[in-house]
C-alpha cells in the first residue's frame, strides 16, 4: 500500500456542509489506507477546477449540486448509469496507454438508494411505487429501480408536472437506445392535483423532493400514507426522522426511513471504484449517526 495519501475531493457549491470527507475518511481508516479527501468549492467553471485538482495529483472525486451535469460533460468516458441519469457524481482519473489523462464518470446515487432499499427489506417486488419529486436525485434513482424492474409500476408526482413527464421520456429514450430488449416497468407522471382526485394506491412512497429540508410536506392526502407499507425520504437527519417519515409513521406506515443509508451507499460505490474495495455500510452508518448527533 502506498504511503503517500491518495488525493480525493468533493466538488460543489455550497460544499462546506458535505459529509463525504467524513464518510470516506472512515472507509479509509477501516482498511488502514492513507487518503486526503478535500472539499473544493466550485465558483466558476467545474472543468477548470477539476483539471487543476487532477494536475495536483487527484485520483478521483465526487461531485455534488450544482456540478453534476457539468461533470457529465467533462468526463472522457461514462457508465450506463451516468448516461441514464445524465449526471455524474463520481470521477475516476487514470492515464491511457499514450499517457493521456482520462476521466471516467459514474452516477452512484441510484445504487446508493437501491442498495439501501434492499438493506431495509423494502417490499419492491410487485409493488406500486410513488416517487415524489423529479429533480436531480429522482433522475439518479429511476434507472436503478428500472434495472431491478420487479415492481408493478412507478408513478412520479412533481410540482412541475412537465419535469416528471420529461424525466420519463428521457428514461424511455435511454433504454430504447441502450437496452432495447429491456422490458420497462410501466411509468407515469402526474400532478399533486391529479392525486387529490384519484383512487390510486401505492405500497412504497419515496420522497425525492427537497421539502423536508424546510420541514415541509408534499401535498399528498392522508389516504396515500394509510395504504402504504414503506416510506423513504432521501433527506436525512441525525435522528433518522424527517417530517415526511414522521407523517408516514403517524398515519400508520409500518416502515419509514431517512436517506443517510443512501448517502453512505453512494459513497461506498465511489470508494470501490477508486480503490477496488467495498467498505462496510452498517458500521459507517452507525458512525455517521453518532457524528451527526454530536453536531446537532
Ligand atoms: P433538486 O433541486 O434537483 O429537486 C428538488 C425537487 O423538490 C423537485 O422535484 C422540486 O419540484 C421539488 N420541490 C422543491 N420545492 C418544492 C415545493 N415547495 N413544493 C413541491 N415540490 C418542491 O434537488 P435534488 O433532487 O438534488 O434533491 C432532492 C432531495 O434529495 C434533497 O432533500 C436532497 O437533500 C436529497 N438527496 C439525498 C441524497 C442522499 O444520498 N440521501 C442524494 C441526493 C439528494 P420542481 O421540479 O417543481 O421544482
Q: Which residues contact 12 (CB under 8 A, 6 or more apart)?
A: 18, 41, 42, 63, 64, 65, 66, 67
**3-state secondary structure labels for all residues of 195-262:** HHHCCCCCCEEEECCCHHHHCCCCCCCHHHHHCCCEEEECCCCCCCCCHHHHHHHHCCCCEEECCHHH
Q: Which residues are catalytic?
A: 68
The 10 Å CB-count burial string (b at 16+, else e) for 124-151 is beebbbbbbbbbbbbbbbbbbbbbeeeb
Cis peptide upstream of residue 14 (ω within 30 degrees of 0): yes
Distance between CA 71 and CA 105 in Å, rounded?
A: 8
Atom 37 of ligand 1: nearest residue by CA position: 234
How far is 35 from 15, CA to CA, in rounded Å?
19
Best of 210, 216, 264, 289 for a ligand 1 pocket test (most atoms within 8 Å of beta carbon): 210
Q: What is the DSSP letter of 181?
A: T
Pocket of ligand 1 (CB under 6 A): 65, 109, 112, 133-138, 158-160, 163, 208-213, 234-236, 259, 262-263, 266
What does the alpha-carbon distance between residue 121 and residue 107 come to, in Å, rounded to a whole number?
23
Residue 22: name the closest of 264, 205, 185 by CA: 264
pLDDT at 11: 98
Q: What is the edge-to-edge ordering of all strands in the sheet holding 187-190?
A: 187-190, 153-157, 128-132, 204-207, 230-233, 255-257
Predicted structure pTM score: 0.94
Q: Which helix (H) or strand (E) holds 72?
A: helix 68-74
Are 86 and 69 in contact by the 8 Å Cβ rule? The answer is yes
Q: What is the mean pLDDT of each run of 10 residues along the chain (296 residues)?
A: 85 94 98 97 97 97 94 96 93 91 96 96 98 92 94 98 96 93 96 94 97 96 97 94 98 97 97 97 96 89
Q: pLDDT tens digits for 244-253? A: 999 999 999 9
The three three-digit cell numbers of residue 227, written as one number: 395504504
pLDDT at residue number 99: 86
State residue 136's pLDDT score.
85
Give the per-residue pLDDT at 2. 52
> Three-state DSSP class for 129?
strand
Ligand 1 centroid to residue 206 C-alpha, Å: 12
Site to probe by mutation for ligand 1, drawn from 190, 209, 238 as the one with most ligand atoms within 8 Å of Cβ, is 209
**Ligand 1 center to 158 CA (angstroms):** 10
How many Cα atoms occupy the beta-carbon half-sphere of 267 within 13 Å? 28
Compute the distance from residue 118 Cα to the ligand 1 centre, in Å: 22
Residue nearest to atom 43 of ligand 1 (CA): 137
Tell me what pLDDT residue 192 has.
97
Q: Confirm if 11 and 50 have CB atoms less than 8 A apart.
A: yes
Residue 234 CA neighbour count, 13 Å, CB half: 23
Cα(272) to ligand 1 centroid in Å equals 27
What is the predicted pLDDT for the residue at 1?
53
Place of cell 408513478: 155
Amino acid at each position: 500500500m502506498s504511503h503517500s495519501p491518495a488525493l480525493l475531493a468533493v466538488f460543489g457549491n455550497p460544499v462546506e456542509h458535505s459529509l463525504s470527507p467524513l464518510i470516506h475518511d472512515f472507509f479509509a481508516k477501516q482498511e488502514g489506507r492513507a487518503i486526503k479527501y478535500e472539499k473544493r468549492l466550485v465558483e466558476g467553471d467545474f472543468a477548470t477546477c477539476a483539471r487543476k485538482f487532477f494536475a495536483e495529483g487527484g485520483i478521483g472525486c465526487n461531485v455534488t449540486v450544482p456540478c453534476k451535469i457539468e461533470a457529465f460533460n467533462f468526463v472522457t468516458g461514462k457508465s450506463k448509469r451516468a448516461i441514464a441519469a445524465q449526471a455524474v457524481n463520481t470521477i475516476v482519473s487514470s492515464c491511457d496507454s499514450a499517457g493521456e489523462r482520462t476521466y471516467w464518470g459514474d452516477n452512484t446515487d441510484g445504487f446508493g438508494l437501491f442498495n439501501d432499499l434492499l438493506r431495509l427489506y423494502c417490499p419492491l417486488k410487485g409493488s406500486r411505487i410513488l416517487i415524489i419529486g423529479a429533480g436531480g436525485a429522482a433522475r439518479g434513482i429511476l434507472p436503478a429501480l428500472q434495472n431491478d424492474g420487479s415492481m408493478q409500476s412507478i408513478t412520479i408526482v412533481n410540482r412541475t408536472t412537465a419535469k416528471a413527464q420529461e424525466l420519463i421520456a428521457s428514461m424511455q429514450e435511454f433504454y430504447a437506445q441502450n437496452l432495447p430488449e429491456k422490458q420497462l416497468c410501466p411509468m407515469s407522471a402526474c400532478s399533486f392535483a391529479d392525486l387529490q382526485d384519484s383512487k390510486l394506491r401505492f405500497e412504497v412512497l419515496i420522497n425525492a423532493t427537497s421539502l423536508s429540508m424546510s420541514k415541509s410536506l408534499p401535498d399528498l392526502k392522508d389516504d396515500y400514507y394509510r395504504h402504504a407499507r414503506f416510506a423513504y425520504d432521501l433527506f436525512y437527519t441525525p435522528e433518522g426522522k424527517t417530517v415526511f417519515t414522521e407523517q408516514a409513521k403517524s398515519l400508520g406506515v409500518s416502515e419509514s426511513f431517512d436517506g443517510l443509508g443512501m448517502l453512505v451507499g453512494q459513497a461506498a460505490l465511489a470508494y470501490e471504484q477508486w480503490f477496488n474495495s467495498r467498505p462496510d455500510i452498517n458500521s459507517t452508518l452507525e458512525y455517521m449517526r453518532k457524528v451527526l448527533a454530536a453536531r446537532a
